[in-house]
Copies of this chain bind each other. A is one copy, B any other.
Amino acid sequence: MDNSDGMIIALDAMGGDYAPACVVQGANEFITKRKKYKNVKFVFYGDEPRISSLLQNLPKLKNQSRIKHTSEYVASDEKPSIALRRGKNSSMRLAIDAVKKGKAAAIVSAGNTGALMAMSKLVLRPIDGIDRPAIASVMPTRRGKCIMLDLGANIDCNSDNLVQFAVMGDAFAKVMLGIEAPKIGLLNVGAEDSKGSEVVKSAAEELKEGDYPINFYGYIEGNDIAEGIVDVVVTDGFTGNVALKTAEGTAKICSDYIKAAFKSSPWAFVGGLLARFALKKSFKKLDPRLYNGAIFLGLNGISIKSHGGTDATGFANAIEVACELAKNDINSKIKEELSINHGLFNDEDELEAEIL
């Protein structure tokens, strides 16, 4: 028996632009199309009547699911501090609590990112040795896939934070990309040692000199991300967020330019029909739904953020990220890497203050 058999995933059924329908359909797509995970079980947290009615015509999913009713949920524009205080019975919070209590292997939500981060951090707490959890996700590259972190959890980072991101990113890449010794790159404005901020330079030095069980490549630049020069891109949350969104925006206008070109003349239109299949196949690699599901990495528990506007296929992908990480026990891997070296300790003081 595979250890994913009987795995339970907690779902925030009320989070996201198309909740709860998209959450239920995503879960259904997941267990019907991912044979490997066909026996995964779900607990839906949210409005029982609505979820029940959505499950009506999905017998397999209904059979593998339970519903925990709550009429409360976190609004998409709610401030994290308000959500923390008032959202104790929200669908998001109850789903996170389930992970804390060991009743679920992971939680997936397409809801309010700030609230999910704050609640996950407060309830699940950072792993010993990690000062700042980071948002990490898989991204497409020319050579396949890479991991980038932090994508926005920490606006200001010091060099210790970046070093910890490198260690966590290493463990994440091993699990999600199946690479034995992932190449870790530090995002910078040039490849030379003299380039970059003091924070980046000191992180690089620590990663080079320190006793970390990782394969440190050195500096990379923005254009190296898409080229797939490294398997893990380490950066602060401000730069990572801007880089991710800039890449998404650029890919979107490229794809729109192609579509516009095919509509611009009869010849081009016919050309487009002939090349359609090949282009679709080529651009499928860039489909954002395939990369949906960012983890809030570095907590004692797996908390996955789905894009709020994704569809069932995208949500199913986020569930897959949750299952892969739970099945491979990502957090044990991170703890193991942290225990090999020393000097990566965290202070739990003022954790609440920091969260708020």
Contact = CB atoms under 8 A, between A and B. Distances in A.
Oligomeric state, in number of copies?
A: 2
Contact of A278 (B141, B194, B262): B262
A53 interface: no
Interface residues of A, number: 63
Interface in A240-293: 241-258, 260-262, 264-265, 267-268, 270-279, 281-283, 285-286
A196 interface: yes
A213 interface: no
A155 interface: yes
A189 interface: yes
A194 B244 CA distance: 20
A187 interface: yes
Identify whether the interface residues of A are mostly helix, strand, loop, or mixed: helix
A261 B243 contact: no
Given A222-B241, A271-B270, A196 B258 contact: no
A70 B111 CA distance: 64
30 contacts: A155-B196, A156-B197, A189-B238, A221-B241, A222-B241, A222-B244, A222-B246, A223-B246, A223-B249, A224-B249, A226-B246, A239-B242, A242-B242, A243-B246, A246-B246, A247-B247, A247-B249, A250-B250, A251-B254, A254-B286, A260-B282, A261-B281, A261-B282, A267-B278, A268-B275, A268-B278, A270-B274, A271-B271, A271-B275, A274-B274
